[in-house]
Amino acid sequence: MKGEDTLAVLPTGGGKTLCYDLPSRMLQGLTVVVSPLVSLMQDQVTQLQSQGRRRVESLTGQLSFQEKKDILYRLPQLNMLFLSPEMLQSERIKERLKQLTISLFVVDEAHCISQWGHEFRPDYKSLAGVIEELHRPVVLALTATATPQVEADIKELLKLNHPFIYRRSVNRRNIFLEAVKVENREEKWERLEREMEALPKPMIIYTGTRKEAEEAAAKAGRNFSAACYHAGMSPEERRAVQLQFVEGSVSVLAATNAFGMGINKKDIRSVVHLYLPPSLEQYVQETGRAGRDGSDSIAVLLAGPEEERLQMHLIQSALPEKSDLFRYMLPVFQQQIDFPHETLPFPEVVNRTAEHHFEQSGLLKNGRFQRVPEREDIDRLGSIYEARRRIKLRQFEKMLSFYTDTECLRKQILRYFQEEAEAQQNCCSVCGLRPEIASSQLFFSNEETGWENRLIQLFYPERRHEIT
Amino acid sequence: MDRLLLHIFMHMNGQRSISGPVHILKGKRSSQTIQDIHLFRLHKWAGLLRHTSYGTLWEQAQRLRDQGFIEPISSTVDSVTQSGLDAESVSRKVFENVRLSGWKYEWEGHTDDCWRTLNLLIQTASHLKAGRKQFIPVYADTTAKQNVRSLFREASAEQIAEGLYEWLYRELLKRSRSDAELFTDSLSGPDRSGKTLGQMTSSGEVPFHTWLRFRSILHDLIESGGPESPECLNTLFKQWKQKKELTRSAEKTRELFMAGYDLQQIAAERRLKVSTIEDHFVEMAASDPEFPVDVYAAAELQREILQAASTSGGRLRDIRERIGEKADYFQIRLVLSSRTGKGGTAYL
């Protein structure tokens, strides 16, 4: 607010949006928010709009040409604009932004700029240049988790100007941590069934695959109101399940890691992991969804060799090997003059890494190859993926030692983020026994009988006492 | 879902391969598929599974082969086996009894627009009336959000709620209790949010059949739109019932066309001159990007006409002279209007 650059590390929830919503209302000019999570961004916009903030819009690749044009046209009237990073690669959009006064430039999920972060987005590396082009507004960088190394990267790569650093501890004292090493799948599921009875509700069960999410929901559904959530469901179904979980009519939610971002539910009492997240950062984020109201909660990790293999496989296959690049990338490159996003058989993040790398090395300019790429170019690119894979493997090793070591779980997490540990009661399964934790008060739906009453309740909610 | 493929396939008189029903359900914009829809009177199912991926649809087709329900006769024709006939008879009643208007309301995505708009509209009105201004909205795309926003600009929550209540009450009363409850359970209000279809499937019912019932309710709701529905929704219903604006007479022609009549039959039915109906067709082609132009002029001919049009300044007589006997004036006008109409059409 004093016009200083700021880096805020705010673990899980706790008004990240507020950090820029409030200033944006008080400042003259436009607040630009860059975020990599398109769906989350749209939710944020919807939510702000539903609070009466009409001058908020988002600009993403998912919009139609006409929709983008409309928003660009309205730009001078806007107060806040959410953008996905690749939108800032567009000269047209940058030109329009340059003509306006940008009072605040917010970089959400700022850890994405660092290759040491658990999610790395190559597009983020160009942000410093963009900020410069937009007459260097004040920058606010936000992230939920950042090790000191990532923090240093953010400062350097965003070219923050002696930033004010606000850091809240990753330690969530009200969450009891528990790690259980299982021998095999059967043992995991047998244990899960007991935990579903024993652990307090509302509960999230995080699974490694969609199929597991469905299975877990089916099991839980025998005794509780349960649902599952994963990216294979339609957006409509996902939203419906989200609403049910937030209001409390569903008390056990089995989900893949597609669930969680931007979900604001304070009274979650337990989080169970049936898979090993790829990093402690991610684990901390997912368990951190419990107990946001400050009441006692518990996180239980159930995993073993099969879960290790699954995650290892995912990490290995997420990025292409050099041989894949030679086979699939080189021939395409040698035929086309434009960077061929559509024809490559790789995930978008892989393509964008390649594009970014070639832009940096001068081989690619405005999406056009300046000369025909050669084997050596591809080889150098391959080394980047290899380095990235090594970093990911190292991050996963931390996760592995976390759940197999006999050291206090909380201490391990805090050491990873280079924070001081403090002894506490009800710490973790290494330090002591699981405390008794009560479920949150659960939702009781007054199940109306019959559609006629339901219609009255929907359209005349003020008359509800008349329904018998 | 594979049973539905089989059911539709049975109506194609053994003249097609199983890809016929796949394309009809997916709503493929090709003259073959559109002809099939008219020829075999499959309007009910047209475009109904437009959101299902081809991958899934082909899997279902493969399942029919794997179960031995169909077998190939040639590369373009499959036939139904005896066990296929038996299997089809099991779910035939369900498919025959469910009332659907795919060609009218799914083909261009109007059912989705309608459902998303209604769902968000009802949730918003209900929350506002309960004094709650902030809530997590149900899923809605940009179109639905804009619809709802402009509706609230024109009418108050009270007016909207009252209109919707009376209309929905009347419409749901016409249906079975389980249909009515299926619909109301899917709606969201401040006291309880809507259920997903999976959660509403009654015991013993195939989830896909629940989904069909749900679509059927929506189709009938759109159909009921008009003087009986809330006034504030009139504009939207007009859009959903016919996205494009046609003269009243052309609209009648369009309805017959949708019902599977061809040009000559429409002229006979309406006791109008063929040339008048041709005019209507030209009008329809101009306003509807999905109009099956290639049923009346093959792709190659369309290309030639457009080519001729671009070199002769677009005058009909000149074009006709260049093309010669290959195309008549109707074909030329149809092709040109489909290209100049809003949105154009996939003519290549």
What the block records as the tokens of A322 is 């050099």
Does any domain span residue B65? yes
Record: contact B130-A46, CB cut-off 8 A: no
Of B97, B125, B156, the residue at which a domain comes to its end is B97
Q: Both B126 and B71 in a single domain?
A: no
| pLDDT (tens digit per residue) in A88-147 | 888 889 999 999 999 999 999 898 898 777 778 888 888 999 999 999 999 999 988 888
Q: Which residues of A touch B192 (CB under 8 A)?
A: 247, 249, 445
Q: Which residues of A touch B126 (CB under 8 A)?
A: 458-459, 461
Record: contact A455-B165, CB cut-off 8 A: yes
Q: Both B114 and B237 in a single domain?
A: yes
| pLDDT (tens digit per residue) in B207-237 | 899 999 999 999 999 999 888 888 888 888 8
Q: Both B237 and B281 in a single domain?
A: no
Q: Both B181 and B122 in a single domain?
A: yes
Q: Is A145 helix (H, G, I), strand (E, B) or coil?
A: coil
Q: Is the pLDDT of residue A12 over 70?
A: no
pLDDT higher at B290 or A290: A290
Cα separation, A156 vs A119, in Å, equals 18
Cα separation, A283 vs B300, in Å, equals 59
- Beta carbons of A103 and A138 less than 8 angstroms apart: yes
Show which of residues 110-139 on chain B sit within 8 Å of chain A, judged by CB atoms: 116, 122, 125-126, 129-130, 133-139
A300 to chain B nearest CA, in Å? Answer: 28
Of B49, B76, B97, the residue at which a domain comes to its end is B97
Record: contact B181-A67, CB cut-off 8 A: no
Structural domain total, chain B: 3
Q: Is B315 helix (H, G, I), strand (E, B) or coil?
A: coil
Residues in chain B with pLDDT values less than 50: 244, 341-348
Please report the pLDDT score of residue A466 as a whole number: 54
pLDDT band for A339, please (50, 70, 90 cuts): confident
- Domains in chain A: ranges and CATH: 6-167 (3.40.50.300), 171-318+421-468 (3.40.50.300), 325-395 (no CATH)
Q: What is the CATH number of the domain that holds B33?
A: 1.10.10.10
Task: Measure CB to CB from residue B165 to each of A240, A247, A459 and give the nearest one.
Answer: A459
Domain span at residue B158 reads: 110-241
A–B CB contacts, 8 A cutoff, strictly below: 100
Record: contact A458-B199, CB cut-off 8 A: no
Question: Measuring CA to CA, which residue among B22, B34, B2, B30 is closest to residue B262?
Answer: B34
Q: Both B252 and B330 in a single domain?
A: yes
Does any domain span residue B223? yes
| pLDDT (tens digit per residue) in B99-134 | 999 988 998 889 999 999 999 999 999 999 999 888
Please report the pLDDT score of residue B22 as a whole number: 96
C-alpha separations of B331 from B246, B280, B297, B309 in Å: 20, 13, 6, 13
Q: How many residues would you count in chain B?
A: 348
Q: Which residues of A touch B134 (CB under 8 A)?
A: 47, 50-51
Q: Both B116 and B233 in a single domain?
A: yes
Does any domain span residue B273? yes
Please report the pLDDT score of residue B348 as a whole number: 25
Q: Both B115 and B208 in a single domain?
A: yes
Instruction: Give A58's contacts (C-beta < 8 A, 6+ positions apart).
Output: A41, A42, A44, A45, A81, A82, A83
Q: Is A123 helix (H, G, I), strand (E, B) or coil?
A: helix
Q: Is the pLDDT of residue A75 over 80?
A: yes
Does any domain span residue B252? yes
Q: How many residues would you count in chain A?
A: 468
Does any domain span residue B346? no
Task: Give the residue from chain A lying closest to B194, CA to CA.
Answer: A240
Cα separation, B264 vs B277, in Å, equals 8
Q: Both B315 and B261 in a single domain?
A: yes
For residue A85, say if its preceding peptide bond is cis, omega within 30 degrees of 0: no
Q: Both B252 and B234 in a single domain?
A: no
- Beta carbons of B21 and B5 less than 8 angstroms apart: yes
Record: contact B134-A50, CB cut-off 8 A: yes
Q: Is the pLDDT of residue A372 over 90?
A: no
Q: Both B226 and B137 in a single domain?
A: yes
Please report the pLDDT score of residue A352 as a whole number: 81
Does any domain span residue B265? yes
Q: Is the pLDDT of residue A468 over 50?
A: no
Q: Is A302 helix (H, G, I), strand (E, B) or coil?
A: strand
Please report the pLDDT score of residue B239 as a whole number: 83
Does any domain span residue B46? yes
State the pairing for strand pair B78-80/B70-72: antiparallel
The long-range contacts involving A443-452, CB below 8 angstroms and separated by at least 24 positions, are A443/A247, A443/A248, A443/A249, A443/A251, A445/A249, A445/B191, A445/B192, A446/B191, A450/B177, A450/B181, A451/B172, A451/B177, A451/B180, A451/B181, A451/B183, A451/B184, A451/B185, A452/B169
Supply the mean pLDDT for chain A. 88
Cα separation, A191 vs A180, in Å, equals 9
| pLDDT (tens digit per residue) in A341-371 | 777 888 877 888 888 888 888 888 877 888 8
Instruction: Give A402's contacts (C-beta < 8 A, 6+ positions apart).
Output: A179, A280, A283, A409, A412, A413
- Report angle CA A68, A90, A115 to the nearest 5 degrees: 115
Does any domain span residue B102? no
Q: Tell me which of A15-19, A155-159, A338-342, B155-159 is least confident.
A: A15-19
Cα separation, A183 vs A197, in Å, equals 21
| pLDDT (tens digit per residue) in B71-94 | 999 888 899 999 999 999 998 999
Mean pLDDT across the stretch A196-215? Answer: 96
Residues of A with CB under 8 A from a CB of B: 46-47, 50-52, 63, 67, 227, 234-244, 246-247, 249, 445-446, 450-452, 454-462, 464
Please report the pLDDT score of residue B344 as a whole number: 33
Task: Measure CB to CB from residue A461 to each of B130, B136, B145 and give the nearest one.
Answer: B130
Task: Give the residue from chain B lying closest to A221, CA to CA.
Answer: B199
pLDDT higher at B15 or A268: A268
pLDDT higher at A422 or B100: B100
C-alpha separations of B145 from A149, A194, B106, B157, B173 in Å: 43, 44, 20, 16, 28
Cα separation, A9 vs A202, in Å, equals 27
Task: Measure CB to CB from residue B180 to each of A451, A460, A464 and give the nearest one.
Answer: A451
Q: Is A58 helix (H, G, I), strand (E, B) or coil?
A: strand
Q: How many CB atoms lie within 10 A of CB B156?
A: 13
H helical segments located in A51-200? 65-74, 91-98, 127-133, 148-157, 185-198
C-alpha separations of A422 from A172, B37, B111, B173, B197 in Å: 12, 72, 58, 65, 49
Record: contact A243-B136, CB cut-off 8 A: yes
Q: Is A91 helix (H, G, I), strand (E, B) or coil?
A: helix
H helical segments located in A105-209? 127-133, 148-157, 185-198
Cα separation, A132 vs A138, in Å, equals 11
Please report the pLDDT score of residue B14 as a whole number: 80
Q: Which residues of A touch B183 (CB under 8 A)?
A: 451
Q: Is A369 helix (H, G, I), strand (E, B) or coil?
A: strand
Q: Is A166 helix (H, G, I), strand (E, B) or coil?
A: strand
Q: Which residues of B touch A456 (CB under 8 A)?
A: 165
Of B241, B260, B280, the residue at which a domain comes to its end is B241
Q: Both B180 and B155 in a single domain?
A: yes
Q: Both B151 and B223 in a single domain?
A: yes
